[in-house]
Amino acid sequence: MQLYSTNSKDLRVSFKEAVFNSLPADKGLYMPNSIPALDPEFINDLHSFSLAEIAFRVAKNILDGDIPDQDLKRIITDAINFDAPVVKLEEQVHVLELFHGPSLAFKDFGARFMSRVMSYYLQAGEKELNVLVATSGDTGGAVALGFLGVPDTKVTILYPKGKVSPIQELQLTTNGQNIHAIEIDGTFDDCQALVKQAFNDPELKEKFRLTSANSINISRLIPQTFYYFHAYAQLQRQSKTDVIFTVPSGNFGNIGAGFLAWKMGLPVKQFIAATNINDTVPAFLRSGVYQAKPSVQTYSNAMDVGDPSNWVRIMDIFKGDRADLKKLLTAYTFTDAETLEAIQKVYERHEYIMCPHTAIAWLASKQWLKDHPEERAELVFLSTAHPCKFPDIFPKQIAGKITVPAQVQDLEGRERLSVSLGKDFKDFKKFLLGER
């Protein structure tokens, strides 16, 4: 598998190099030189395969021999050892539950696969791997658990002060060992900017072997394609093959993986990007002007991104043609008030509890059906996190019905281990260099 930079197709690297370097020197993002289509017979027979079997076939297809079959099967069996069920909520509307992994968020797919791929490639005696990751909520917890205890690996997680939920913060700060958490007095965009500056700092690049665990790393996106195929397989078993996916979108990595799945042959009728008031992409689709903006804090904090990194990948897939992209992508934006109303409404109608990100995806699905009354396709909206991670969002009568998994209960009472920094890169660099 060869990859190029979105800023220069002449810059080519191997999958291993892209995994460890994360960002090209020209500050673009890595994309596969080719995205081969899967065998149509495999797509037609998805219903007969398990999630692990689908994951292996999809990964084998795109990696093109970079990891031998037996090693790839072992990595996937170890990493993807939990389910992602599609649950029918109402007529035409289904929820894809992606919160059944260790950190209770969809990021477990990417983080666990990536950590095992990195461990596979690490050779004895090589320089320690330093993983830098910015998180607006769930990425950090998934990365922390995915890399906890991995030999010769140090993980540094940056998160915005006061902008992650209490449980998310516990998942970031109570691990110890090779996991280090930094509370940044700023926004997620500030955290992301610090990580990108570190990758482009000559001294840090010389001293450390730096890589990222954010969705800017291509090894995060590849495993996120697995659950799109798996969701389609579940509907296929019900003879439903006309499918629309609604994706809660912040940094646009999740929906970017959906487009990779589509390029590999998954017959998706439409993608719907559901955002909160951080509406950089919906505004671009309306106006044709891409204008990054400071992120605004909302209840759906993992989507509080004003300059989504992965958008360049999506535009690259469509060769920069906005009109062509708009044939497959629609975007809707919703407020906190609408989010809370949706949570209440779905609970009253179905006794189903959604996290705020999931609620926005449900709203977008319902808006699509309202805008397209003749639509007959099945809408699958992605549930990206367990509701227990957002206890302060829900009214008491709903909060009391949430079952808190054992791994969350275990976090209570643990010592929090974190460092507080401002958003000045000099201070962050000093921390990485051990000078503070």
Q: Which residues are catalytically annotated?
A: 107
The rounded radius of gyration (Å) of the Cα atoms in the chain is: 20
Burial 28-65 (b: 16+ CB within 10 A, else e): bbbbbeebeebeeebbeebeebebbebbbbbbbbbbee
Residues 6+ apart with CB under 8 A from 160: 136, 183, 184, 186, 187, 188, 190, 191
The pair of structure tokens assigned to 373 is 């009354």
Rounded distance between C-alpha atoms, residue 24 and residue 351, angstroms:
47
State the amino acid at position 235 in one-letter form.
L
CB 183 within 8 A of CB 427: no
In Å, what is the CA distance from 218 to each residue of 59, 282, 388? Answer: 12, 24, 29
CB 147 within 8 A of CB 179: yes
Q: What DSSP designation does 13 have?
A: E
Question: Rounded to the nearest 5 degrees, what angle is found at the Cα of 370, between the Cα atoms of 368 and 376?
Answer: 70
State the amino acid at position 389 in one-letter form.
K
Residue 132's SS3 state is: strand
Residue 262's SS3 state is: helix
Q: Is 350 exposed, middle or buried (0-12, 13-18, 19+ CB in 10 A)?
A: middle
